[in-house]
Amino acid sequence: MTPRRHAVVTGASSGIGAAIARQLAADGAAVLLVARSADGLAAVAADIRGAGGTAHCCAVDLAKRDSAQVVVEAALAAMGAIDILVNCASLTHNADFFEVTDDQWEAAFAVKVLAAIRLCRTAWPALRESGGSIVNIAGIGARTPRPFSAVTSGTSSSLLAITKLLADTGVSDGVQVNAINPGMIRTPRIERTMGGGGGGVDVLNQRARAAGAKRVGTPEDVAAMVAYIVSPAGDLLQGAIIDLDGGTTKGL
């Protein structure tokens, strides 16, 4: 029998993070859901429990310096171990580079980059003990910066650099570290900012194809990739940067 795994997923109150949490729970992992919204976390946890899974909630502002310690302590108290850490929390601003304020830059880096750094550092002893896995959710802006994606490009590329750095250490410590660059994914934020709310998936598919993708992605697409990476089938992946974007990224 496969030993039960224990996962921590940030940004788990909606969108991609929620889908990842549901997928890992469906695969048999106990999951600690992390985000600011207690109500959002409760709703996702109820879904997981209703499907027969195990979910715990940790409502915390990841921008705060002590948040990583709070999350890791909550995970160990609730589950006893950490086998999987998925850094999915994100905060971005779709604006021209010259219009992004210092406060917006700092807030975005605090949630997506600094929080991931702190969580990786704080959870590393537990992950080393369990022979665990880290998956960082970045974004294709890291490889192909586009107009109005300055914030996403900067934070995602930083997260990829951290992924490569930790993957090297992970070889000797027995910790798997990889990253996924999602392209256009049908999340509530994308539907709001790109007009999908009125036209549904057809509008988003048109926009995705205009950007060079075969279709708009779903949170479940990303969740399935995370599940593969942390499964025995994905064991050889180490320091991999996976562009899950339907073909948007054209560079080698």
Domains identified in the chain and CATH numbers: 6-182+218-244 (3.40.50.720), 186-216 (no CATH)
Say whether pLDDT at 196 is over 50.
Answer: no
Q: Please, what's the b/e burial string for 212-248 (b: 16 or more CB within 10 A of its CB; e: otherwise)?
A: ebebbbebebbbebbbebbeeebeebebbbbbbbbeb
What confidence score (pLDDT) does residue 195 get? 55
* CB contact at 8 A, 147 and 100: no
Q: Is pLDDT larger for residue 43 or for residue 189?
A: 43
pLDDT, mean of residues 125-154: 93
User: Does residue 222 carry a pLDDT above 80?
Assistant: yes
Average pLDDT over residues 225-237: 98
Percent of the chain scored above 90 by pLDDT? 77
Q: pTM for the complete prediction?
A: 0.93
30-49 pLDDT tens trace: 999 999 999 999 999 999 99
Residue 109 pLDDT > 70, yes or no?
A: yes
**What's the pLDDT at 232?**
97
Q: Is the pLDDT of residue 193 over 70?
A: no
The residue-averaged pLDDT of 100-117 equals 97
Q: What is the pLDDT of residue 191?
A: 67
Instruction: Judge whether 30 and 80 are in contact, CB under 8 Å.
Output: no
In this predicted structure, what is the pLDDT of residue 122?
98
**Average pLDDT value for residue range 63-73:** 98
**pLDDT band, residue 194 (cuts 50/70/90):** low
pLDDT at 147: 82
How far CA 157 is from CA of 54, 59, 114, in Å, comes to 33, 27, 13
Residue 2 confidence (pLDDT): 53
87 exposure class (CB count in 10 Å sphere: 0-12, 13-18, 19+):
buried
